[in-house]
Chains A and B, each alone.
Chain A
Amino acid sequence: MDRSPVSDADVCVVGAGPAGGIVAHRLAESGASVVVLEAGPRFDGDRREQLEQHIRPGLGGPWEMGGPRDAFSSSGDSFYPLNAARVKGVGGSTLHWQGMVMRLHERDFELDSRHGVGADWPIGYDDLRPYYAAAERELGVAGAADNPYAPPREEPHPLPAFRPSHSDSIFAAACERLGIDMHSVGNARNSEPYDGRSSCVGYGTCKPVCPSGAKYTAESHVEKAEAAGARVIDRARVRRLDHDETGERVVAAAYTTPDGETHRQEATQFVLACGGVENVRLLLLSDSDRYPDGLANSSGAVGRYFMDHLFAGAGGRLDRPTRQNHVGFNTSECHQFYDDAEPVNGLKLEFLNYAGPSPVIDALHADTWGDDLRDQLDESYGTHISMGALVEQLPREDNYVGLDRATTDDLGDPVPEIHWSVDEQTEAALSRANGIQTRVLDELGIEDRWTVGPDETGPAYHHMGTTRMGDDPDESVVDAECRAHDLDNLWISGSSVFPTGGAMNPTLTIAALSVRLAESLRAALG
């Protein structure tokens, strides 16, 4: 494949996930000359092979993450399993995401003003509201207007919501008695054929792979961008952005291809869209006399305020079938406690449709077979039930993404260092989520149960906050349009610009900001 640079490019987008794919598509469609540089490969071919890779031990993961290319360091109190948290390739982490999409609430944009914590966004919900609607159309969101706690919306979801599962009905009776409201989940998977993709047939392996194509991945926007004239170069690892003599404009992205050749892609505008970790790494690797602490980092905020969502969970076993693992996505949630202020961290509750083990996966890991194995599977499958929750982590300067200069990848570049800890306030919110979950499980009569709380929690793999958006160039990296304060033609797309992360899965907001960024960038191109 020819991986040489494109001449006379208007826009160079780094990263082919949703943040880059949507921007590339919108701009190419408007007539701009667009080139997309993606570090990972295209995953062409039949996704059912990757389904087997997921289910069967011994075949490796479906998305080729790990190894010297993807080396990283984890510091801080909590280990951060970065290579489980992302995918490098055309489609980005939407290749392995679960596909839950919901809008942030109004409070997420004004947390400092309302509660004196975190930060305010330079834009409010109303500014993003029309872009949320556009994003829902872009991704093809299946949803319903049954959530009394959702922010206002003026139009229905593009697709009807998936109907509740059997296990939702088990929870529903208990929640009704407790005054806990259940409602549908926004899902970026087709409940009906949409946008050239089929409806969901229920392989049950949404995360990490959807063989049917019903789940949205950013591959669709990359393909649309190409159809509109964009050029996508895969396996092009951008290692540095160079600026001009004034330090006010980026002039080229230097990238290395699999044959070891290094090229320079010049363009009029540059969009950084390679996730909350690699965005930072690239900026820090692009230091210069003008920017000794990293490109676009006169504020010192690049890499700071790293946030993720924390998981809280509880579950147990019932004395009747719970019908788990038929589908790999959830159909009911509860946002009732999201806006509460004690503690202030947002939280949302999930009712899982994939609690407990799957017989086929258990069988393939078992140390026996025949009737012994059948007895084991009879015992292990069928009656599990559980709830999950996402809990907000507020931005803290001492949670950061940096460079570990003592450790290099296979190209000799310093690897990213994730320095991440969970503070006491977040732990209190996790305990609160566990408390609500425990009430529900008590109501169901589950005595023998497990919980995942402050001591066992882990990240939800949503990288946010490391190139935060703000009006003050001394405090933030990009402005309200997602353009770097320091450079006229450098834009950042994705959740790294979130000043706060809320407790909602971030991709719908990523998509909405990307649509908005594309509009601003189109205007900048003139």
Chain B
Amino acid sequence: MRLTRRDALAVLAGLGVTGGAVSLTRFDPPTAESTDERGDSSGEDGADGDDAPPTAVRETMVAAGEVVFPSAAEGVSEFVETYVVGRARDDARRDAMVDAATELDDVARDWEGAAFADLPAGDRDRLLRELGVDTADPVQDGTLSERLRFHVVNELLYAFYASPTGGRLVGIENPIGHPGGTESYRRATMDAPGELPDSGGEHDG
């Protein structure tokens, strides 16, 4: 099951991250060349300029996505990068996400001696659980585990399961928050878009 940039854009659109400027190219992620080592964006890479989170943060978010998304998900890097860059258009969210991801990376370097993104997936999963992120309440300005739950894990889970492709993986191609329910609510299955129930002549509007 392959995630696409279009999936990320669909979720962002549901969150109101649109406007006339939104397009696929609008969310082209920054390249390594356009940012310094810890990630300050040059703003000249076709992404969102100074709003784009640092490279290290994007890498940490992608690495976290590879853990919290199901193993059947492909295209995680492109999907997460697009979502994170789009989300960063909200300054407050951008700053909080950058801070949380940076803290996660710092913990990985302190505890594991390597960047979070460089750890094997199993170690990333273990580290998050050892931090209590799996059972923590999501709190924007709470403890470290609460902030990681809100700004990293739940941000990613929201992006995934509110997307048509992520929803489809668990049985619903139009999860709530995605504007498409009136196109799908009458279908009997995800795979039969033309299959609509018989109104029996009693429900005609």
Chain A residues close to B by CB (< 8 Å): 46, 48-49, 51-52, 55-59, 142-144, 146, 159-166, 168-169, 172, 182-184, 191, 199-205, 211-212, 321, 323, 325-328, 331-332, 353, 358-361, 363-364, 367-371, 373-374, 377-378, 381-382
Contact = CB atoms under 8 A, between A and B. Distances in A.
Contacts of B202: 146, 182-183
B33 interface: no
A369 B188 contact: no
Given A367-B135, A374-B170, A321 B189 contact: yes
B24 interface: no
A323 B174 CA distance: 10
B182 A165 contact: no
Contacts of B198: 169
A363 B181 contact: no
B172 A326 contact: yes
Given A202-B174, A203-B14, A331-B203, 8 more contacts: A48-B14, A58-B139, A165-B186, A202-B180, A203-B179, A326-B172, A370-B70, A377-B161
A359 B139 contact: no
A44 to B, nearest CB: 13
A166 B188 contact: yes
A327 B158 contact: no
A211 B203 contact: no
Interface of B: 14-16, 67-72, 125, 134-135, 137-140, 149-150, 153-154, 157-158, 160-162, 167, 169-172, 174-189, 196-200, 202-205
Given A55-B158, A58-B139, A184-B205, A48 B15 contact: yes
Given A52-B15, A364-B158, A370-B125, A165 B175 contact: no
A14 B184 CA distance: 42
Question: 7 closest pairs, A vs B, by CB?
Answer: A202-B181, A160-B205, A169-B197, A48-B16, A204-B176, A161-B205, A58-B138
| Residue in A161, A328, A331, A358 with the greatest tally of chain B CB atoms within 10 Å | A358
B182 A327 contact: yes
Contacts of B158: 52, 55-56, 360, 363-364
Contact of B174 (A326, A374, A377): A326
Nearest to B173: A326
B137 A57 contact: yes
25 contacts: A52-B158, A56-B158, A57-B138, A58-B137, A142-B205, A161-B204, A162-B182, A163-B203, A164-B199, A168-B203, A184-B203, A199-B182, A201-B181, A202-B180, A203-B179, A204-B174, A326-B182, A327-B181, A327-B185, A358-B176, A360-B158, A369-B67, A370-B67, A373-B68, A374-B169
A58 B185 contact: no
A202 B176 CA distance: 8
A166 to B, nearest CB: 5
A359 B197 contact: no
B179 A202 contact: yes
Nearest to A59: B140
A468 B205 CA distance: 36
A56 B170 contact: no
A211 B16 CA distance: 9
B167 A359 contact: yes
Nearest to B170: A377
Contact of A370 (B71, B154, B199): B71
Nearest to A169: B197
Contacts of A321: 171, 188-189
Contact of A166 (B153, B179, B186): B186
A204 B175 contact: yes
Contact of A361 (B150, B176, B203): B176
A325 B173 CA distance: 11
B14 A51 contact: yes
B174 A382 contact: no
Given A202-B174, A364-B157, A370-B125, A326 B203 contact: no
Nearest to A362: B161
A56 B16 contact: no
A325 B182 contact: no
Contact of A58 (B14, B150, B180): B150
Contacts of A169: 188, 197-198
A169 B201 CA distance: 12
A323 B184 CA distance: 9
B175 A359 contact: yes
A199 B181 CA distance: 12
B172 A325 contact: yes
A49 B16 contact: yes
Contacts of A51: 14-15, 177
Contact of B161 (A59, A183, A360): A360
Nearest to B201: A146
B70 A323 contact: no
B161 A363 contact: yes
A378 B134 contact: no
A9 B140 CA distance: 46
A202 B183 contact: yes
A359 B171 contact: yes
